[in-house]
Each structure stands twice: as C-alpha cells, then as structure tokens.
C-alpha cells in the first residue's frame, strides 16, 4: 500500500494535528513542478529553480519543527507522569510497610496509637490503570516517531527523484539538529516495569537475587528464538513488562545504556570445525566463547562452553561456564596459567563447596585442552543490548530481547585485528561502530527474542507467552545462532555450507496486524494506535497478507557476502553506518520496503482518493485479461486438489512456530554458486531402522510377486508363461527399486540432507504394474476358456476335450477312467 494511505490509517487520533503533513508536502512538490494554468503536463516538469528549492525546504523545515516540538513535549509529559506515578506508588508502598511494622509491634505487645487505613484493591486497580495509560502513551509516542520518521524519508526521496536536486545530505544535517527519532525508551521501560510489578503484586514483588543468572553455572532450558522487526520492538517490550518485570542486576544504580551491553568472542580454528558441528547439530558439538557484560573496562570474563546433545540420547544440551579475571585470560588460553592457579583464590575464600569447585576445575581443564589441541583462536564478536524479563531468583520463565545486534570479525586473516590478544581493542561498545570497514562488520537487521522455559513434562507455557509468539510481532526462526550467522556472512569465501535462514534475509518478516492483540487502555478496552478504517480490509489494507507477506526484490550480492543482503529491512541508522565513510551521516540510506512508491515511476503523484476515472476502450481488454487470469488460477487450484499428495500431521498442542523454519513452504531457495544451504533435519537411530523396515517390506512384496511368477511358470500352460514373465520382471524391478531407494535414503540420512524422503510414485507404480500383470493373466485365461485345453469340434458339432499328451503337456494318471487330475484325457 502507499505510504499516504498507511499514514492515514495508522495515525493516532489524539496526535492527528501533529503528524507530518505528507499530502501537503506532496502537493507543494507537485504544484511547483507543474504550475496551474501552464503547459507543463506530466511527465514534462518545469525546471526546478533555487526559489522552488527554498520554498519547499521552508515548508519541510516547518513540518520538522512541528514534529520535533511535539515529540519533546510529549516525552517530557511522559517523564512527569512516570515521576508522579512513582510518587503515588511509593506512598502506597510506604503505607503498607508502616502497617506491617505496626501489626508486628501489636503482635509483640506494643500498644497501637496510629490509625492509618490499609490500601485496598481499588486503590491498586486505579494505580494499575494509570500505569497502563502511561504505557499506552509510550507505545503511541514510539509509533508516532516511527511514522513521521518514515514520512520524512519518503518525501525527501521523492523530492530528489522528481526534481534532480539532492536534498538528502543537507536535510540529514538538519535532522541531526532536531533528532526526534533518536530518543531511547529503555529508561522509561525499566522504570515502568518496576512500578507495574509493585502494583501488580500489591506491594509484594518476587524476592531473590537478580544476579542469579550471573552466578549460575549450568543452564538447561527449552529455548525458542524469534526475529522482531525494529518497528515492533518497543511495543513488544511494553507487552512483556505487564507480565514479567525487567531484570535489573543493580537496582540501586540508575539505568545506563552500557548496563544492557553484552559482548561475546566466539572461537574456532582455520577449518571451521566448531561452525560445522554447530550447524549440522552433530552429537557432542561444542561452541566456545568468552563473554563480558558492560564496557571494555569490565574485569570479570566468563568462559563458556555450549554442548549439543541429541534428544534420543536422553540428555539435554547444556551451557557451562566459569569466571576468569580479564588479566589472566591470555595466559589461561595459552596454557601458561594452570587451572589450580585460577581457582586458588576461590578455594581459600570458601564461598563455594568443594564439589562445585571440582566441577568448575574439570570444566576449565577440558576448555583449556580444547583451546590448545584444536588451535582455536578468536573468530567473531557479537555485540547487542539485552533487555531481560524474569522474576528475580526464578529462572522458570525468562525472556530476553537482543537489539542492535552486530557481528564483527576478530581473526587475523588478511590483516592484524586481535593480534596476540584474546580480543581486538580498537573497538568497545560504541554501536554502530562507524570506524570499522564494511568487510569487518555485519549489522543484523532485526532484534532477536529468546523465550526460555523450564517447564515440567507435559506442562504448557503460560497463555500470554503463547499469545505473544502467535502474534504479528514476532517471526519464528528455530535454531537461529548469532555465531553461525556471523561466521557465514563475515567469511563468505571460506564457508560453503550456509544456515537455512541466510537466503531468506531479503523477505519482509512483518505480518498483518492482529487487532485484538497489543497495548490496551484499561478504561477504553481497545488497542491503541488503531483507527475506524482498520475494520475495512481490502487488497491494499495493512492487514492484507498479499500486501505484507510478499516476496521483495532480491538485491545484488555485495562484494563481501556470498548471499543477498537484506534490502530495506535494516534500520536506517544501521544502513547509514554500513554505507561506508562517504554516507555515514546520510539519514536516508534506504527506503522503507513496506510501502509502494507513491507513483514515483510516473514522475508525478497520482490521485489516490479520486473515486472515478474516465472510461477508456483499453479497460475492456484489462477486464477480460483479469478475468482470464482469475479463471486460470482457479483451475490450477482445482488441479492441485485433484492430484493426491501426502498431508503432514501436526502433533496436537504443538506450536508450528517452534518446529518450522522461517519461510518454510513459501519459497524454495537456491543456494549461491559453490555453496549449499543446510536445513536442520531431525536424525535419530530409529530413522535408520525405519529405512530398513521399509526396505524389508518392499523385499517381502517382491518375494510374493516372484512366488506368483514361479507358480504360473511351473503349473500353468504355455499361454500363462507370458503372465509369469511379467510377474517375474515386476519382482526383479521391485527388488532393484527398493534396494536403490534404501541406499539413497541411507546416504541422505547419514549426511542430514533435507530431501523428500516420502516415496510418492513407487507404491503407485507397483500397484499399477500388478494390475497390468493380473489383467494379462486374466485375458489369457478368458481366451483359453479357463482350462489348460483347446476346444475342438466333435461329433454333432459338440466340442470335446483334446488329450493333453497331444499338446505336449505331461500328465499324471490318477487311475480314474484315464483322466488326469488336471482335467485332461490321457
């Protein structure tokens, strides 16, 4: 759909007068290019002059000033409302604490002299409603900023294309002076999460060590991963915080962006053995990384090892880690520092049990041996800001959202990056890392949502989690790995096997909006950000699957990656940083992919709202062609229903998003030349046994068919030999076909290839050939009268049987009037 229509249907009514006047700017551009009462008709525009440029820029500046001023006023209002709500909540909490202490004193025999009332549920409900309104305001402001941001993108791009004057770099500088789009709402979310948790739990939030995750050594969880488009990040955070609080490790410290920064260094050797093991999900495949939280001055580094276990083994994949001082990392990895030296201080302090320390020492020895024996070196760094949602001290449900994900090369191939150090020191956490060359960095276009559950066997996840993962806000990508994605994109010449999601990066993951799901105001009961027009869905509406889930044009492969890059899915800030030094400050690096071009191909904006158009004789041809195309489509659909095909069964209660790769069933992707796409295939020992059972079943049927052939050959007449020959050929064909299929399936299973293992034509061909052979035998018997004799005329024209001995067929007497037991006369 066109952006003008999207803006009209997606705007918030309360903010209606403060949006960018997109239609007015288009009219300004149109009227200056094609003045009224002139001979200038589309596509012959008049020459754009300096006066036209100055007039258009003045109108554009006024719109920018309007949007910037409103955003600042609204953000200040939200800050004041959050502070007011904080004061109200703290007052109620202090009253609860005083009443608790007073009751304890009365129980101890101290007389009660105070007469303060207890806060009731109605007061908490009012506070919850106020906080919900603030949450809705944050959501509305984020949507407001996103729409206006895209509007300025579109109109400046239209100006540059139609006038030939380049306004993007100049206007980008003016936007940087009024950066309404750069506000970070994470501080709002953290404060609102804390207040909402206090109100929701009636002043009794969950207690526990918020840093429990930092001290936990082994992690065994059911983890599912999803992609989140940048347009949906703030809304998703606000939805989750209503059910789970934001996990804050240090509640006494004011929130800062570096508090959520996480960096990891992944190690591998020159043969990429760890990459291939993790990609193919081999039993016992390991991943080794070093992780730290915060900036580069952090002194504690976690050495982690992930081990993959197949489900059929009865074991679960586990992540184990131990802490190490940053100054000791190089010596430990090189073997110059022993494991006993690493844990010497821990033994003296006695904060952990002897068994725990021994487990950590065993892990450290195995890690140090692997690093040295396999010649592992730093390969890829991942950086992102993580917002974690979890009850303190309770890891049963944990949701993390990683934004601004960036993958950076750490190896020394081609040029010296990390050197002899365990990590490169020329960068820190200054995202988007503009100083790095394009071949050293990969900016991931989406946020990554991880849902980690520790549920009992047969227990379903909470309903709100199922609603979130089934909504339009997320796209399921099972088995997604930052390490695999970074290695495949940063080393295109060395990696020949690609993850299954990589060729699908150019597909827009946004889906039709679920109107019954989202941020709601308690006093209205309706989702914010919707309008009356949302209920009318047509071909061009935002909720139409054909307009959103469409195949985008595949961009040209860049020089660094062997696969197409995502076109338009990147945040514009990220695209601007990745354009190179000449366009680092270009605000309009790439157009938004969701909206059509607003008639840019014609050079003039078409009138969307004009209800009628003049009749043209060409309309009849267009109508007939459209009807013929629709009839052809219906015939194809009917043909598909008539052709039998296997229907896969879905396990009841299972979530398809947990098991189906993103984009599966929509398009068959072709790997780039010289590369192969690896699709995850579930391989267990019973799969090999199933292949053997199938082969034995075919072998059994071939034996039955050969038995029929031998019977017809030994006990039939010379005419049945043709049917016997047909059955024998069919038996041999069945045996060879089943053996070929068994060997082919065995090789594909062993190599974990995602191919069609279902045999759609073999059983059908076997039944058809069986029918042909039976028909031949039936025809022979019908011609011969059903006996092994040939009828000849006798006396009176009556036929009589011919002795079998005259036909050259041996007989066996049975002593009964000279007749054989086969019905002939000897």
Distance of CA 322 to the CA centre of its chain: 31
**How far is the first Cα of the chain from the last one, in angstroms, to the nearest whole number?**
92
* CA trace torsion 536, 539, 541, 543 (10° rounding): 90
**Which helix (H) or strand (E) covers residue 465, if one does?**
helix 463-469
Q: What does the angle CA 323 – CA 328 – CA 333 come to, to the nearest 5 degrees?
A: 85
CA 572/CA 502 separation, integer angstroms: 21
Q: What does the angle CA 649 – CA 652 – CA 658 come to, to the nearest 5 degrees?
A: 85
CA 730/CA 540 separation, integer angstroms: 57
Catalytic residue set:
482
**Strands 475-476 and 222-228, bridge-based pairing:** antiparallel
CA 40/CA 604 separation, integer angstroms: 12
Is the bond into 43 cis (omega within 30 degrees of 0)? yes
Our separate counts of H helices and E strands in the chain read 22, 17
What one-character DSSP code corresponds to residue 803? P
CA 245/CA 251 separation, integer angstroms: 12
The residue among 702, 699, 683 whose CA lies nearest residue 745 is 683
* CA trace torsion 243, 247, 251, 257 (10° rounding): -120
Q: Which residue has the tokens 């005329």?
A: 793
CA 11/CA 15 separation, integer angstroms: 7
CA 301/CA 298 separation, integer angstroms: 8
CA 580/CA 436 separation, integer angstroms: 9
* CA trace torsion 573, 575, 581, 583 (10° rounding): -80
Tokens of 288: 């080794």
Tokens of 740: 């070929």
Tokens of 410: 């750490």
The residue among 752, 763, 762 whose CA lies nearest residue 688 is 752
**Which helix (H) or strand (E) covers residue 498, if one does?**
strand 497-499
739 contacts: CB under 8 Å, gap ≥ 6? 695
**Strands 676-678 and 497-499, bridge-based pairing:** parallel
The residue among 540, 523, 541, 544 whose CA lies nearest residue 532 is 541
**60-63: long-range pairs with CB below 8 Å, 24+:** 60/25, 60/152, 60/155, 60/156, 60/171, 61/174, 63/20, 63/21, 63/25, 63/152
Widest distance between CA atoms in the chain: 137
Is the bond into 772 cis (omega within 30 degrees of 0)? no
CA distances (Å), origin 101, targets 89, 203, 341, 457, 563: 18, 14, 49, 42, 65
Q: 438: left (phi > 0), else alpha (psi -120 to 50), else beta?
A: alpha
CA 757/CA 646 separation, integer angstroms: 12
Phi, psi dihedral angles at 319 (to 5 degrees): -115, 120
Are 309 and 284 spatial neighbours (Cβ–Cβ below 8 Å)? Answer: yes
């Amino acid at each position: 759909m066109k952006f003008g229509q999207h803006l009209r249907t997606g705007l918030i009514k309360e903010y209606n007068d403060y949006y960018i006047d997109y239609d007015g700017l288009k009219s300004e551009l149109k009227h200056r290019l094609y003045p009224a009462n002139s001979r200038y008709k589309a596509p012959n525009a008049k020459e754009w002059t300096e006066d036209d440029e100055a007039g258009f820029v003045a109108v554009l500046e006024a719109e920018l000033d309007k949007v910037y001023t409103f955003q600042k006023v609204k953000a200040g209002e939200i800050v004041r409302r959050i502070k007011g709500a904080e004061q109200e909540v703290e007052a109620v909490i202090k009253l609860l604490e005083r009443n608790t202490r007073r009751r304890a004193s009365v129980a101890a025999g101290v007389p009660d002299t105070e007469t303060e009332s207890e806060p009731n549920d109605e007061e908490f409900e009012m506070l919850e409603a106020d906080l919900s309104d603030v949450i809705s305001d944050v959501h509305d402001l984020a949507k407001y900023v996103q729409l206006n941001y895209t509007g300025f993108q579109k109109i400046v791009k239209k100006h540059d294309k139609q006038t030939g004057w380049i306004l993007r770099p100049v206007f980008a500088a003016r936007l940087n002076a009024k950066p309404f789009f750069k506000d970070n709402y994470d501080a709002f979310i953290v404060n609102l999460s804390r207040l909402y948790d206090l109100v929701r739990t009636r002043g009794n939030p969950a207690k526990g060590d918020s840093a429990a995750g930092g001290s936990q050594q082994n992690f065994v969880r059911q983890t599912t991963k999803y992609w989140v488009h940048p347009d949906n990040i703030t809304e998703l955070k606000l939805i989750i915080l209503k059910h789970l609080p934001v996990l804050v490790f240090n509640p006494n410290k004011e929130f800062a962006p570096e508090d959520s920064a996480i960096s990891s260094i992944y190690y591998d050797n020159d043969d990429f053995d760890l990459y291939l093991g993790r990609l193919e999900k081999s039993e016992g495949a390991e991943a080794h990384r070093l992780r730290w939280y915060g900036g580069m001055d952090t002194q504690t580094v976690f050495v982690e090892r992930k081990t993959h276990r197949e489900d059929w083994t009865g074991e679960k994949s586990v992540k184990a880690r131990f802490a190490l001082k940053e100054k000791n990392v190089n010596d430990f990895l090189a073997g110059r520092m022993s494991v006993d030296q690493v844990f010497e201080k821990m033994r003296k302090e006695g904060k952990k049990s002897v068994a725990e320390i021994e487990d950590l020492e065993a892990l450290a020895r195995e890690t140090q041996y692997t690093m040295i024996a396999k010649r592992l070196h730093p390969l890829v760094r991942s950086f992102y800001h993580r917002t974690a949602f979890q009850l303190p001290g309770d890891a049963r449900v944990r949701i993390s959202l990683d934004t601004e994900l960036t993958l950076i090369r750490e190896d020394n191939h081609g040029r010296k990056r990390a050197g002899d150090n365990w990590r490169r020191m020329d960068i820190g956490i200054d995202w988007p890392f503009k100083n790095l060359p394009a071949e050293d960095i990969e900016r991931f276009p989406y946020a990554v949502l991880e849902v980690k559950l520790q549920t009992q066997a047969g227990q379903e996840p909470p309903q709100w989690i199922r609603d979130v993962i089934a909504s339009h806000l997320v796209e399921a990508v099972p088995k997604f790995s930052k390490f695999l994605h970074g290695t495949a994109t940063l080393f295109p010449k060395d990696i020949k096997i690609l993850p299954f999601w990589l060729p699908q990066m150019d597909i827009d993951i946004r889906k039709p909006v679920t109107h019954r799901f989202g941020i709601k105001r308690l006093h209205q009961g309706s989702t914010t950000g919707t309008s009356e027009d949302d209920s009318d869905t047509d071909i061009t509406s935002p909720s139409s699957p054909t307009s959103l889930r469409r195949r985008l044009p595949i961009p040209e492969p860049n020089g660094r990656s062997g696969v197409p890059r995502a076109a338009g899915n990147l945040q514009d800030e990220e695209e601007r940083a990745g354009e190179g030094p000449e366009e680092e400050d270009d605000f309009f690096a790439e157009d938004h992919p969701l909206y059509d071009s607003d008639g840019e191909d014609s050079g003039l904006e078409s009138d969307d709202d004009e209800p009628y158009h003049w009749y043209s004789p060409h309309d009849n041809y267009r109508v007939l062609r459209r009807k013929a195309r629709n009839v052809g489509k219906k015939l194809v659909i009917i043909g598909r229903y008539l052709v039998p095909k296997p229907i896969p069964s879905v396990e009841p209660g299972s979530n398809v998003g947990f098991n189906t790769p993103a984009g599966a069933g929509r398009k068959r992707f072709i790997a780039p030349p010289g590369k192969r796409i690896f699709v995850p295939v579930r391989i267990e020992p019973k799969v090999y046994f199933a292949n053997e059972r199938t082969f034995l079943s075919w072998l059994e049927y071939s034996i039955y068919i050969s038995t029929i052939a031998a019977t017809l050959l030994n006990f039939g007449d010379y005419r049945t030999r043709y049917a016997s020959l047909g059955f024998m050929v069919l038996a041999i064909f069945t045996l060879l076909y089943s053996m070929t299929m068994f060997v082919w399936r065995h090789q594909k299973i062993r190599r974990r290839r995602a191919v069609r293992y279902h045999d759609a034509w073999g059983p059908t061909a076997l039944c058809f050939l069986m029918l042909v052979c039976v028909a031949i035998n039936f025809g022979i018997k019908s011609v011969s009268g059903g006996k092994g004799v040939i009828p000849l005329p006798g006396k009176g024209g009556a036929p009589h049987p011919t002795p079998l001995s005259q036909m050259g067929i041996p007989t066996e007497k049975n002593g009964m009037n000279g007749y054989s037991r086969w019905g002939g006369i000897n």
